[in-house]
Amino acid sequence: MKIRLGFVSNSSSSSFICQVTGEVYSGYDASLSDACMYCCAVGHEFGEDFLIDVDDVDQLISCLVDDKVAYANEYNPDHPSFAHKIRDEQHRTYFVKRYHTILEDAAEQRVWLTEQTFEHVDDLLERYFDKYGEYGSLRYEVPSIMCPICSVAHLRDQDLLAWLLADQGLDRNDLVNKLKQRHSTLSSLRREVDRKRSNEASRPGFDLEHS
């Protein structure tokens, strides 16, 4: 979640950015509720209109447990990115301890979730966040299955670019250098993009819906 803070007359100015539309909401002592936005377990902010409805209780239970395990993996000492996060041995010890603590919490929550009987999804969410939610509200801890970004109902440009680079076996820095050698201005780059799009659209059998 991206929040910008600054102090003015004992008040704080907060800004929330919808990662689907790019819309920004700012205000003193503002909350996600004021901005009509949600924030998922991963930290994606999005407008209320983009919240995904879920009606399968078992599917949501599985998601809640998986989200907790995914959060634990941010501290997993066996994760490839772990070494880049560690400053010293004391920091490493904290990460390892934190990892096991979260896994224990996930196991406890799994047992509780499977032992309960929920009438419907809203009943599950209310009781779960009342017992385990850090904020006690869905507003700040939307399960990933209900997030438009986590569920890829909406794909951000940065995620599309990351996939494209990986799919094509490209390195971002190499691509940037190549473009700099070919273009000295942004206008020049955009003209090439427009030209390539025009050529693609004029190919025989081109179909926008299936391209």
pLDDT tens over the chain, length 211 residues: 444 444 444 457 889 999 999 999 998 888 999 999 999 988 999 999 999 999 999 999 999 999 998 888 888 877 776 667 777 788 888 888 988 998 999 999 999 999 999 999 999 999 999 999 888 788 999 999 999 999 999 999 999 999 999 998 989 898 899 999 999 999 999 999 999 888 876 666 545 444 4
Question: What's the confidence (pLDDT) of residue 128?
Answer: 94
The total of other beta-carbon atoms located within 10 Å of residue 67's CB is: 22
The total of other beta-carbon atoms located within 10 Å of residue 41's CB is: 21
Match 């996600």 to its residue by tokens: 32
- Write down the number of H helices and E strands in the chain: 8, 5
Claim: this prediction has a pTM higher than 0.85: no
Beta strands 45-47 and 7-8 are unpaired
Match 């109902």 to its residue by tokens: 153
Q: Which tokens sit at 9?
A: 């007359």
Domain boundaries, the chain: 53-136
